[in-house]
Amino acid sequence: MDFNDTSEEARFREEAAAWLAENAPTDEAFRALSPLEQAKQWQKCKYDAGWACIGWAPEFGGRGASPIEEVIWRQEESRYDLPASFFLIGQGMIGPTLMAWASDEDKARYLPPLASGEEVWCQLFSEPAGGSDLAALRTRAERDGEDWVINGQKIWTSGAHYSDYGVVVVRTDPTVAKHKGLSYFYVDMKAPGVEIKPIKQLTGDSDFNEVYFTDVRVSDSQRLGEVGQGWQVSLTTLMNERAAIGSSFGQMDVSLALSVAQEVEIDGHPALEDAAVRTKIANWYVQESGLKYTGYRSLTALSRGALPGPENSIGKLVGAPKMQAMSSYLMDLLGASGAIADEALATKAGIIQRAYMGAPGLRIAGGTDEIMANIIAERVLGLPQEPRLDKGIPFNEVPTG
């Protein structure tokens, strides 16, 4: 075993690194832009040189790169401090959905500007009544000639306020069973009747929105998949919710814990010498190292041209609770001053406090801990689903509590 690139991979890495060294913006003028402006400018720069969405086919703006090349590109790009998150949902989840379900005309129209960052997309799935049970959504679309009229409310929509388009799954037939009455559309986020309200999170930030639809008209040509096939189309989107291989959970890692435990004292000795502290740090390292080398195993599969196994499904289920546990414990070590979030005064500039406040969101977003455990149990271990009381019943007869 080794951790080296194959000669082909090494050549690709070199090419990518060389281009990045030449082109990655570091100048003051760039830094002065807003994060979204920075992201758009950088994305367009990559697109023009053939380095945007490199796994996509050339006609959509990519270069047909292999999965391992995509990983290498991400590793190299992440060496630079560049904003990327604005396009993750559109390029990572919606692009593949358009490729699988959209007409050739729509693919040609929408994929290149999605790759170039000129158009940003968001995903309108969750609803107040449909989170973990996504298919319980109630936003409805009713047929009106060549159009559909959408009414309802979506929630937890990242980036709705700066998106040009969105994909939305709606109920087109409430008289059939839950999963059978759904259809999938793309919508213009600037269309009349679309109203976006930011949600203030417990952190005080607003990363998500509520999106209200009031008599929003969309053309039938904006439908992806057949009427009633919306659930299958949604699954394409969700399957591309990438378990970003080898991704870490911010700066909350064991090296930070070691550093805090060396600075803080217990009974006149560095906390790092305390057996209980060492036990905690060892356990976190087991998790961190386990995720890292799980990622390496998946990369090896990609490098060999194979599909990675299901092992990466553990990432968020391990990483998010670890982030919460670790930040909580490090604040305990700091004692009363663990409460200080002021960047100028706090140990580690408030990273620990921000991690603790953000961790509940990570344990919920993209599948709660409980849903992730269900997914492992059902898809990896082959255990049966819970019996569902709404199974086979027309949606409008399902108890709603």
Partner 1 sequence: MNFEFSEEQQMLREQARGFLTEHCSTSVVRAVLDSNEDWDAGLWKKVADMGWTATVIPEAYGGLGLSYYELAILAEEMGRSAAPLPFSSSLYLASEAIRHFGNESQKSEWLPKLASGECVATVAMAERAGRLVLDQLQTRRTDSQITGHKVPVADASVADVAVVLARSDQGLEACLVPLKQEGVVISPVLTFDTSRGHSAITFDRADAQALGDAPLDPADWERVIDGAAVLFAWEQLGVAESALIQARDYALQRFAFGRAIGSYQAIKHKLANMYVKNTLARSNAYYGVWALAEGSDELPLAAATARVAAIQASTYAAEENIQTHGGMGFTWEFDCHFYYRRAKLLSLAIGSEAVWQDRLVSALTEQTVAA
Find the binding residues for partner 1 in span 292-321 (CB under 8 A): 292-294, 296-297, 299-301, 303-304, 311, 314, 317-318
Residue 268 near residue 291, CB atoms below 8 Å: no
Give the distance from CA 199 to its chain's centroid.
Answer: 18
Q: In the bound complex, what is the minimum distance in angstroms from residue 349's beta carbon to partner 1?
A: 20
Among 376, 390, 393, 398, the residue binding partner 1 under the rule CB under 8 A is 376
Give the residue among 189, 197, 192 at the shortest CA–CA distance from 215.
Answer: 192
Among 128, 378, 391, 397, the residue binding partner 1 under the rule CB under 8 A is 378
Binding-site size for partner 1 (CB under 8 A) equals 52
User: 215 vs 378, which CB is nearer to partner 1?
Assistant: 378
Q: Which residues contact 41 (CB under 8 A, 6 or more apart)?
A: 25, 30, 33
Q: At what angle do helices 67-77 and 7-23 cross, to 10 degrees?
A: 40
Among 52, 68, 137, 194, the residue binding partner 1 under the rule CB under 8 A is 68
**Should residue 370 be labelled a site residue for partner 1 when binding is judged by CB under 8 A?**
yes
Binding mask 252-271 for partner 1 (x = CB under 8 A): --xx--x-------------
Inter-CA distances, 347 with 252, 269, 333, Å: 13, 18, 11
**Should residue 323 be labelled a site residue for partner 1 when binding is judged by CB under 8 A?**
no
Catalytic residue among 9, 15, 210, 241: 241
For residues 69 and 80, what is the distance between their CA atoms, to the nearest angstrom? 18
User: H-helix or E-strand containing 148?
Assistant: strand 147-158
304: exposed, middle or buried (Cβ count in 10 Å: 0-12, 13-18, 19+) = exposed
Candidate ranges 147-155, 214-222, 227-235, 286-294; the one touching partner 1 (CB under 8 A): 286-294
Q: Kindly tell me the sign of the dihedral angle through the C-alpha atoms of 179, 183, 186, 190.
A: negative
DSSP E strand boundaries for 36-103: none
Among 3, 22, 58, 307, the residue binding partner 1 under the rule CB under 8 A is 3
Q: In the bound complex, what is the minimum distance in angstroms from residue 311's beta carbon to partner 1?
A: 5
The three-state secondary structure class of 11 is: helix
DSSP E strand boundaries for 62-101: none
Q: Is 241 a catalytic residue?
A: yes
User: 335 vs 384, which CB is nearer to partner 1?
Assistant: 384
Active site residues: 241
Residues that bind partner 1 (CB under 8 A): 1-5, 9, 68, 254-255, 258, 272, 275, 278-279, 281-283, 285-287, 289-294, 296-297, 299-301, 303-304, 311, 314, 317-318, 370, 372-374, 376-378, 380-387
